[in-house]
A and B are shown apart, each in its own frame.
Chain A
Amino acid sequence: MAIVFQKPKALKDTPMHYCPGCTHGIAHRLVAEALDELDIEGKTIGIASVGCSYNSYDYFGCDMIQAPHGRAPAVATGVKRSKPDNVVFTYQGDGDLAAIGTAEIVHAAARGEKITVIFINNTIYGMTSGQMAPTTLLNQYSTTTPYGRIADQHGFPINVCEMLATLEGPAYIERVSLHDVKHIKKAKQAVKKAFKVQIANKGFSLVELLSTCPTNWGLSPVESLKRVEDDMIPHYPLGVFKGKDLEV
């Protein structure tokens, strides 16, 4: 018998600190599988952001830089502009990318920076224990919307893929989900394609992965996956928003 599934080489052995059932672990694995299968770990530089995944450099085996909150796309721009032959990716949560880092992601995309952005959307701030994020859904409870998110007070959730797809810069934008095996496999293809877009020098690529936060949602890991399907996908439809017919 041969091994058909195991931890990808580009993921280090360090056990991850993420809460039980948190899909960060799956997202990390998909990125690492892409690095393995495209054989690019050696020339990849990853940019960790600030949030639950602040120390993703403890898990990814490639060279890594830890960026200030929201600034990973700018750090990645500095790296890529200095080392255009390297593969550069950022790994960011929804607070990092869509709140404090909105200007950085919009302009990196608008410039068509040849970087790959792995965007984890779990509709909440995880690390700081459950505050509202720009992607928090209306009526969703959080520690800063204790009575539910109310549009009149807290504004509306931001659909990042749709927003960035209005820009000319990006070459490939897709939203995927991690809520079941079938979707995880599709997510893996999207992540891999995003890296291929970069390697083929086609421009900016971003994959948004709908993810869970059992701890701060107050749900079990299994219930959390269900919430992604029932509550999140209706507001954050899956699909390719830019670069449908892009051949890489």
Chain B
Amino acid sequence: MVSEEKETILWEVFIQPKNGLSHRHCGSIHAPDREMAILSARNVYSRRGEGQSIWVVRSIDIVSSDPDEKEETFSSDDKIYRHPTFYDVPDDVGHM
């Protein structure tokens, strides 16, 4: 009944709503090649003019940081001097 078929390639989809904004991840789709990936991405993620440019990238090509090393990779609690509020400036200097 259900034939054994091979799984199509999974692509991540990024849509740019308009010039001046960056492409933003909006989900994924399955397609056998890049042309069909762009076509399907348009049909699935932009039925109401949400975008003017689409990027698709094979999901397996995305390299990501290890979520278990979130603390080590991203912690900057010990570097509070990187934030403007670390520095004392008299109130009457005004906005700086």
- Does A pair with B? no
Please report B residues at the A interface, Cβ cutoff 8 Å. none
